[in-house]
Each structure stands twice: as C-alpha cells, then as structure tokens.
Amino acid sequence: MHATGGRLSRGDRRRNEKLRRLREAVPEDAAILAIDLAHAKQVVVVTGPGHQVLARRTFCCSPWGVDQMIDFALEAASRNGIERLVVACEPTGHRWKPVLERCTRRGLTLVCVQPLLVHREREREDYTRDRSDPKDATLIAHLARDLRCYLVAVPEACWARLRHLGIRRDAKLAERGAARQSLIDLLGTYWPAALEAASDLDSTTLLACLAVSTDPDEVAGMDYEAFARAVAEALPRVGGERRCHRIVRAFHAAGTDPRKIAWEQPGAAERAAFALADLLHARIQVAEVEDRMVGMLRALGYAELARTVPGLSEVGAAAILAETGDPSRYDSGRAWAKHAGACPRDNASGRSQGKTRVSGRGRPLLRTAAWRAVWPLVQRNEVFAARYRHLTGREAGRLTDAQARTALAAALLRQLWAVFRHRRAWDPALAGGKIAEEVVPAA
C-alpha cells in the first residue's frame, strides 16, 4: 500500500491562506447581517455564533437604505452582547454596490455569497427547492458564517470604467452580429445574387452598394455609370476609401437576376435597409467604445506590454483586463483561467477515469474575450501556432479544434497575468516551453 508524502500542496497552502483571511474578516464571535437584495424590498436577518437567529425584518426601501439595516443589526447584536458586525449579501446585479459603498464608509466588512451556493443550499437545508426571501437571507448568513463566501474589494475608478466599457463593447458586438446575420438572412431570401457579388458581407464596397439601394428593381433601373457614382459617394459612410469595380459590376448585374420572390421583395427590401442601418450604426459604436478601451489600456500602462505578444491586439488585451480587473488582485495566473471557467476539471474516481471538461463557471465574458483573442494568435504567433499543431496532431490525447483553442485561451490568460502582473515583456521561450525550442532560434 503506497502513501503520499505529508507535504502540503500549493493548492492546500493557498486554500489555507484564503480561509485565514476570511476568518479574520468573519470572526466566529461576530454577528452577521445577511441581506436578500431586491429593487424596493430588502429582507434582512441577523445571526450570532452557532447560526442562531437574533433578529429579522423586512425594509421597504432601495439598497441605498442599508444604513437603517446596519443600525437595526447593531442594536440586535448589542442586545446579545456582540460587538462586531459583518454584512453579507449576494452580488445581485448592481444592487450590492451601494451596500459596499455604505459599509466602506462605516468601516464594516462586506462579504458576498455566490447565488449558485444559495441555490444548492436550499436543497441541502430541507431537501426541497422551496424558495423565499426570508429563507434566502438565512441561508446567506449560514454560508457566510461557514466561510463559503468571498471578500469584496473596492475597485479603483479606472478599473471600474474599463469594466463598464468592456460590457458595452460586448453588447454592441452582439447587436452588430445580429444585424449582420439578419441582413444575410433577408438577402438570401429575396436577393441571393447580391450576396454572391462579394465573398464577404464585411466588404466596404458591398456595403456601399447596399447603402445605395437594397431593392434589386431599383438597382436594375439605374445605368452602371450612375450606380458606380452613387457607390463612390456612399463609400465614406461605410468606412471605405476605394471601391472594387469587380464587386460594383457584379452587384449591378445582380439587379436583373431572376431569383426573386415578388410578394416578399418589397417588405424584405425595406427591412434589409433597416438591418443595414443597424449594422452600420453598431459598427460605429463598436469602434468608438474600442477606442476608449485602448485609451484606458494606455493610461494604465499595459498597452506596450500587450504589443509584445505577437498577434494580440490592444483591444483584445483591454477586453480581457476589463473582466479580470487589476492583475495585482490575483496571486497566480491559474486564477485567471479559473475565473474564466476555462480550466480543466478532473473526472476520476479510483481506477475510473472519465472525460475531462472545462468547468464553465466564472465570468463568461472573460472566457469569450480569451476565445476571441486566440484566433489571430494561432495565425500570427509562432509559439501558439506550434502549440495548436501539437495539441491537434499528437497521437495520444489528440484534441479537436475547439478543445485546442480552449486550452490555448487558458494558456493565454496565464501568460498575460505574468506579463501584466510583473510588467515584463512576453518571452516566447518561457511561453512555449519545449514547444518554443522548435520555433525560437538559439541565441
């Protein structure tokens, strides 16, 4: 029978340190004010040592009324001989932010409990999925008492702004994608020849042609010279400078294509014009928010470091930092991958070994930002390209394209943390390990 050594693993040491910090913030003899946050009604419960409920009450106010809840909890704690108070809540939308602000002003500690834990705790409490605000407040207090929570730090204004810009960019990218797909679907229905004029809808010449008219009959009624002049005039509105005459001629000829649906064409052409306007507007908004994000990246001093990674754009680095926040908050690059839900989770018990998957927990926008950043890296970064070929070409444990890109996304997050945290340029030899020896020439 084989026994492992008695040394603590790196994970054990980090977990112990985390528990020590949490216990300092949530002492065993402290009272806990747990708040089930809502828009206009806050249900609170005050618990003491041993999970004893000391008081409970419902406040009909917004989260900004937390001061009266704190006063209520301090009075209940004082009646029971308890001096220290800790506030706990779920990070519900933006409602926890006023609570953090007031707790900071009053010198109180705020801890947050993940909603997933509260959901699981409902069943563990009485084996049902019974849900109510008073019960949820009690469960939040129990979880905070058991240190199944996390400390909330007050972010700097610059990081908070970058986070908001990142959220807006993601929303505008979704709007741009929806408008683009809607335009493709509509053209494919009533005017497929227009899509065949160019290989990609992102062609500025094709967008300028559509800006002139989305009605094939109207295009067919124009002579080519007049149509070409109209396209040249529309080109600046779609962000283009030079027109491709091949695409202009193909689009003009598509006006006489017989593949049409007479009863569908008028309404679909009008709707396609709306979709085109939405697409062009979303493109402008995405460009504007990305410019602001790059400006924030430069102001924070990370733009030059991001440029040391071949294939990584400043926008891609800013999108990742918008979700992670200050790198100094983390003690390891693995925490970034775990934060994104891109870290592999083991699936083994005894001699049984199941399929390993990524956790999928954490911030989905961070996972998306890393996933988007990987695509140009595979094309332009020799280290990442070699790693991709290795993962998809090895005999044992060969990964699919999506699996390999997910692994590269996690690797990118770990490497970026080291670059930004220590403010050192990206080193291909360190980033690639043994793989890098094949692509980095010896000095």
Judged against a pLDDT cut of 80, whether residue 347 lies above it is answered with no
Count of CB atoms situated within 10 Å of the CB of 141:
27
pLDDT band, very low/low/confident/very high, at 342 (cuts 50, 70, 90): confident
What is the DSSP-derived secondary structure letter of residue 198?
S
DSSP 290-336: HHHHHHHHHHHT-HHHHTTSTT--HHHHHHHHHHH--GGG-S-HHHH
3-class DSSP assignment, residue 45: strand
Cβ contacts of residue 401 below 8 Å, gap of 6+?
A: 392
C-alpha triplet 148, 149, 152: angle, nearest 5°? 165
Q: What is the pLDDT of residue 441?
A: 41
Give CB contacts under 8 A, 24+ apart, made by 397-403: none
Q: Which residues partner with 36 through β-bridges?
A: 43
DSSP 219-244: HHTS-HHHHHHHHHHHGGGGT-SS--
The pLDDT of 219-229, averaged and rounded, is 95
DSSP 386-410: HHHHHHHH-STTPPPHHHHHHHHHH
DSSP 79-101: HTT---EEEEE---TTTHHHHHH
Q: What is the pLDDT of residue 440?
A: 44
Judged against a pLDDT cut of 50, whether residue 442 lies above it is answered with no
Q: Between 212 and 2, name the one with better pLDDT.
A: 212
Q: Determine what percent of the chain is predicted with pLDDT higher than 70.
A: 96
To the nearest 10°, the Cα dihedral for 185, 188, 191, 197?
Answer: 110
Amino acid type, 413: L
Would you tell me which CATH number, out of the four given (2.40.160.20, 3.30.1370.60, 3.30.360.10, 3.30.420.40), belongs to the domain 27-151? Answer: 3.30.420.40
Q: Between 319 and 349, name the one with better pLDDT.
A: 319
Q: What is the pLDDT of residue 439?
A: 45
Judged against a pLDDT cut of 50, whether residue 443 lies above it is answered with no
Q: What is the pLDDT of residue 4?
A: 57
Q: Between 155 and 203, name the one with better pLDDT.
A: 203
pLDDT band, very low/low/confident/very high, at 260 (cuts 50, 70, 90): confident
Q: Determine what percent of the chain is predicted with pLDDT higher than 90.
A: 81
Q: What is the pLDDT of residue 124?
A: 87
Instruction: Name residue, tokens 């200050």.
Output: 326
Q: State pLDDT tens for residues 58-102.
A: 999 999 999 999 999 999 999 999 999 999 999 988 999 999 999
Q: State pLDDT tens for residues 92-149.
A: 889 999 999 999 999 999 999 999 999 999 988 888 888 899 999 999 999 999 999 9
Report the length, in residues, of the chain.
Answer: 443
CA 355/CA 353 separation, integer angstroms: 7
pLDDT band, very low/low/confident/very high, at 3 (cuts 50, 70, 90): low
Q: What is the mean pLDDT of the chain?
A: 92
pTM score, two decimals? 0.89
Judged against a pLDDT cut of 90, whether residue 34 lies above it is answered with yes
Q: What is the pLDDT of residue 431?
A: 85
Judged against a pLDDT cut of 70, whether residue 332 lies above it is answered with yes
Kindly give the pairing relationship between strand 348-349 and strand 352-353.
antiparallel
CA 193/CA 247 separation, integer angstroms: 12
Q: What is the pLDDT of residue 129?
A: 83
Residue 324: HSE in the Cβ half-sphere, 13 Å Cα cutoff: 32
Give the domain ranges of the chain: 27-151, 161-290, 307-342+361-439
Q: State pLDDT tens for residues 365-385.
A: 999 999 999 999 999 999 999
Judged against a pLDDT cut of 80, whether residue 386 lies above it is answered with yes
What is the DSSP-derived secondary structure letter of residue 183?
H
